[in-house]
A and B are shown apart, each in its own frame.
Chain A
Amino acid sequence: MPPTPRKRLWAVLPAALALTLAACGGTGTGAGAGAGDTPASGAAPADLTKALDTPVTLTFWTWVPNLDKTVALFEQRYPNVKVNVVNAGQSADEYTKLQTAMKAGTGGPDVAQVEFFALPQFALAKQLVKLDDYGVASLRPKYTASAWSQVNFAGGVYGFPQDTGPMVMFYRKDILDRLGLQPPKTWQNFADAAEKIHADDPRNFISSIDPGDAGGVDSLLWQAGSRPFQTVTPTQASVNLKDAGAAAWSALWSDLLRRKLVDPVPGWTNEWWQGMGSGRYAMWITGAWAPGSMSTTIPKTAGKWRVAPMPQWKAGDQVTAENGGSADVVLTTSKNKTAAVAFAQWLNSDPVAVKSLSDNGLFPATTGLLADPAFLDAPNSLFGDQRPNKIFAESSARVGTGWQYLPFQVYANSVFKDTAGQPISTGSDLAAGLTAWQRRIVEYGEQQGFQVTSG
């Protein structure tokens, strides 16, 4: 899922209205139909399947469109289980409701979609069922390494990876061809291409950078080798937005912004999509989930786009990062935890389910599907004759290891626009913005009782 999906509000107004309505109606109940619940300790996979033979009703919060189709497959397979799919809003909107329901102790769902960056926060507050108690460790080989590491927090597994966003570079072949440019292999190539594109027509840019999107910058830092957020123990964290990777990123992008070679505007707005459709932007470096949104929002550009690996900091490297992605978690307030775990596990590991999720636009988190020739060779008319999934899968395998989020990343990301976003929009020194961001994060962490060390 895109890192800031609420911005889609601006893409289509009617959709925004529908979303608001859906959000208003989003009150699920966790009350099940009386299936006795096994206490969370050592339930073996056999018990999980058994839980699905008992009549039970589960509530599932997700904002993925068409996910009810996959859920329908589940209900066919396990007719005793009824799953209410509720759209409780996207991303932060859902977390607000989830937070409130958890605080109230009732009204929350059994299973909820939570983005990777928000998972530690809910896990720390003991609001998520620790899945190790249900014997899910055996699932590890089924998922990509980076997806699995992102559902881990402080030595426990707290979610089933639902989708991921390995970073790639989408570029307009027609624009690059016209200017005689090759898709940039390194960030230096990227800067050179940026200069040529802007010189050709000062209204055009190689790409944009969103001053409000912490997730986008996190991903670029991740690929640059920066590991700014570390959770040492559940109560000890460290923040270092001044490490070598962060310095390299801010030097390059400060320069691009100062020379006005990239456009510092928020993404996902009406104007931004217009720009994507009209050739104002020649590239979009983001997660592999993007093609779905592109096909529906800018269908007229179909065939003009191509995919390439993202630019590298050192020629010859093949390092990538993730952007977005989410997991399905089971809430501790659920009255049917075993059935909820079994459902979430089926949804995100059964081959039928992951195929259905992928068909509905989610980029897979499972290695099985990522190695499936039928998946890898699937064409996509957005990219002409290219088979994009191959490049996506390669990116997925090359994600830099060791990235972590803070147990209060939701807040940290929310104040990105107040701090690091400022120099992005004014074109001044990004390193100073990152330092300001770090200060706000550390201050908050200490207020919340964490021991925070900073770089």
Chain B
Amino acid sequence: MSTFSPSAPPGDVRARAPGTVRGVHGLLFFTPFLLVFLVAIAAPLLYAVYLSFFQDRLVGGVTFVGLDNYRRALTDGLFHAGLLRVALFLAVQVPVMLGVALLAALAIDSGRLRFPGVFRIGFFIPYAVPSVVAALMWGYLYGRRFGLVGDIGGWLGTTLPDPLGRSWMLASIGNVVTWEYMGYNMLILYAALRAIPGELYEACQMDGAGEIRKAWSIKIPALRKALLLATVFSIIGSFQLFNEPNVLQSLAPSVVTTSYTPNMYAYNLAFNGQQFNYSAALAVVLGAITAIIAFTTQGSANRSGRSR
């Protein structure tokens, strides 16, 4: 504590103007975070931006290339295909996952379940499973010959479509991601539900409303902010999609290509292709697109919220 004003003992600080003291104290509390933020977040980001203006070739070494890497990203078909794929994923998987999470949160909050704690933990446990392990596990289940899918097909006396095939892979990844993150989103929504003041329910009951009406008129509107938060997290998560397809790649190498998602593409370019600079440019572009979509979602939700 003595480090913040080495020239004067801490006791002297009190003698100064109270406003300054509060400012100093505020700064003190803020400094640890600021340091970590600068070192762990701001510096790598700036470094990535810096890297993206150069090119380091196996023959020829490092040269400054200005915006060349960004120009290349604009015309890179593999990058665009990956972006479109995660956009499709986002459009389908996120609403499904949040819908299921909402239903689960409402069910647990309704007070009609016998052991709500068990359900709460049960839904949440998959989130505690590392995504690599989750993908490995689902990879086994998806097996058509010896996995669960194969067994179910056997019982039904038919061959089910291959979950790891070209047409179903994205849906299969969506299923893994939904399984993993549904409980996490449910918890965000459930916490918001617990924050609703009891008087509202009492008033509602006096007006003769049932559970459905209560959910529709009180709970869901009260969940606006929490749902928005969960949506923004999910948008970011979708664009960052990496672990699940990367693990499933060993099972379906020709379906999950090296450029299946933008993150996988950047990873392969950097670590197999040593194109750290172009990869940094892709990361910056991807980050910018994610930020724009997340902000737009938030902005439009806030505007429509005010107009109500």
Contacts and interface: CB of A to CB of B under 8 A. Distances in A.
Do A and B associate with each other?
yes
Interface of A: 6-7, 9-10, 13, 16-17, 20, 92, 95-96, 99, 103, 121, 124-125, 210-213, 234-235, 266, 268-271, 274-275, 407-408, 410-411, 414-415, 417-418, 421-422, 424-426, 444, 447-450
A269 B136 contact: no
B250 A6 contact: yes
Contacts of B250: 6-7, 9-10, 212, 266, 268-269
Nearest to A234: B59
A99 B58 contact: no
B259 A9 contact: no
B145 A274 contact: yes
A124 B58 contact: yes
Given A17-B133, A275-B145, A417 B59 contact: no
Given A10-B250, A417-B258, 13 more contacts: A10-B251, A16-B136, A20-B132, A210-B253, A211-B254, A212-B250, A266-B252, A268-B250, A269-B251, A415-B268, A418-B258, A425-B255, A449-B60
Contacts of B175: none
B274 A99 contact: yes
B253 A266 contact: yes
A339 to B, nearest CB: 29
Contact of B258 (A266, A415, A422): A415
B7 to A, nearest CB: 38
Nearest to B132: A20
A9 B249 CA distance: 12
Contacts of A269: 250-251
B147 interface: yes
B136 A13 contact: yes
Interface string B240-262: 00000001011111110111000
19 contacts: A10-B251, A99-B271, A103-B276, A121-B58, A213-B253, A235-B59, A268-B250, A270-B140, A271-B144, A271-B145, A407-B58, A414-B268, A414-B272, A421-B254, A444-B273, A448-B57, A449-B57, A449-B58, A450-B59
Contacts of A410: 272
Interface residues of B, number: 33
Q: Does more than half of chain B's interface fall in helix, strand or loop, or is it mixed? A: loop
B253 A421 contact: yes
A448 B271 contact: no
Contacts of B251: 10, 266, 269
A121 B58 CA distance: 9
Contacts of A415: 258, 268
A125 B254 contact: no
B257 A418 contact: yes
Contacts of A407: 58
Contacts of A274: 145-146
A40 B249 CA distance: 43
Contacts of B163: none
B58 A424 contact: no
Contacts of A211: 253-254
B258 A271 contact: no
B58 A270 contact: no
Nearest to A97: B271
B183 interface: no
B147 A449 contact: no
Interface of B: 57-60, 132-133, 136-137, 139-140, 143-147, 247, 249-255, 257-259, 268, 271-276
Question: Can you list the 9 inter-chain pairs with the closest CB atoms, starting with the nearest?
Answer: A212-B253, A449-B59, A449-B60, A449-B57, A425-B254, A414-B272, A211-B254, A417-B253, A421-B254
A121 to B, nearest CB: 8
B172 to A, nearest CB: 15
A359 to B, nearest CB: 30
A411 B257 contact: no
Given A16-B136, A270-B146, A212 B254 contact: yes
Nearest to B251: A269
A422 B254 contact: yes
A280 to B, nearest CB: 8
Contacts of A95: 271-272
A70 B134 CA distance: 36
A271 B251 CA distance: 9
Nearest to A408: B58
A417 B58 contact: no
B306 to A, nearest CB: 47
Among A125, A271, A407, A422, the one with the most B-chain Cβ atoms within 10 Å of its Cβ is A271
Nearest to A418: B257
Nearest to A411: B273
A177 to B, nearest CB: 25
Nearest to A211: B254
Contact of B259 (A20, A271, A418, A449): A418
A414 B132 CA distance: 20
Contact of A414 (B137, B145, B147, B258): B258
Given A99-B271, A266-B252, A271 B146 contact: yes
Nearest to B255: A425
Contacts of B59: 234-235, 448-450
Contacts of A17: 133
Given A414-B258, A448-B59, A96 B253 contact: no
A9 B136 contact: yes
A270 B57 contact: no
Nearest to B276: A103
A319 B250 CA distance: 31
Contact of A447 (B57, B137, B146, B254): B57
Nearest to A93: B271
B254 A450 contact: no
Given A269-B251, A421-B254, A449-B57, A10 B271 contact: no
